[in-house]
Structure 1
Amino acid sequence: MAKIINSNEFVEKVENTKGVVVVDFFATWCGPCKMLGPVFEGVSNEMVDKAEFFKVDIDKSSRIAQKYGIAAVPTMIIFKDGVPVENLAGFMPRENISRKVKAHL
């Protein structure tokens, strides 16, 4: 299950982590974010031993959202060894997200 993390946890769990981490930047008021939620959860359950999955609420962690230039939600960023390697904007089907993550494993 993808845990919602705050700005304090972000450094430890994303920026200082080796391997692949996928972060879903979302907002509670965002319709497409609500559609993406179960899809993101499905991918995180499918890839539980291969990558870490987290969610960041842009309204509660605006500093992190600004740091990574989140202009629209939902936006997913794939990090490898703490460095952003790919941005995925908007709703995406499960297969597309899975394929994009696997490309960085």
Structure 2
Amino acid sequence: MTKERNPIEQNEDYLSDWLENSDRRVVILAFTAAWVGSFFLFRGYLEDLKEKHGENVGLQIIDVEKYGSIARKLGVSQVPTTILLRNHEIVDMLIGTTSRNKLLASVKPYL
């Protein structure tokens, strides 16, 4: 019989997978929730950035209602919050919906 892991352990594995990839590229973790209306425009900025830079950018949009333990572990206290990771470390944190230009300025040094 296989032991089933609890959701917190599964969330930790989910985060670990993304952190493992942060040594080869910039990893963007965007924390939001379904009720955050301002995130829909910002999501477009994130997806455009991912499309333009391909494999150099990892993008994961994380619903805090589903993956709250990840948000707590990384110190996310409000949504939307965007965390940039490089070489397994947080290099920037953008709180709130931000402009396309500010997003690009935050990511560019790590590409």
TM normalised by structure 1 equals 0.84
Q: Write out the 4+ residue segments of structure 1 that deviate beyond 6 Å after TM superposition.
A: none
Structure 2 unaligned residues grouped into runs of 5+: 1-9
Q: Displacement of 1:9 after TM fit?
A: 2.4
Q: Distance in 1 between matches of 2:34 and 2:28?
A: 19
Match of 1:52 in 2: 58
Q: What is the percentage of aligned positions where both structures have the same residue?
A: 24
Deviations 1:46-85 (CA, angstroms, capped at 9, x unpaired): 2213221111111000000000111111110000012111
1:96 lines up with 2:102 in the alignment? yes
Matched residue SS, 1:47: helix
Native 8 Å contact 1:28 1:34 kept in 2: no
Structure 1 unaligned residues grouped into runs of 5+: 1-5
Compute the RMSD of aligned alpha carbons: 1.5
Match of 1:80 in 2: 86
Match of 2:14 in 1: 9
Match of 2:43 in 1: 37
* Aligned AA (1:9): Y
- The structure with the greater share of residues assigned to helix is 2
TM normalised by structure 2 equals 0.80
Match of 1:68 in 2: 74
Match of 2:4 in 1: none
Q: Distance in 1 between matches of 2:56 and 2:37?
A: 29
* Aligned AA (2:107): V
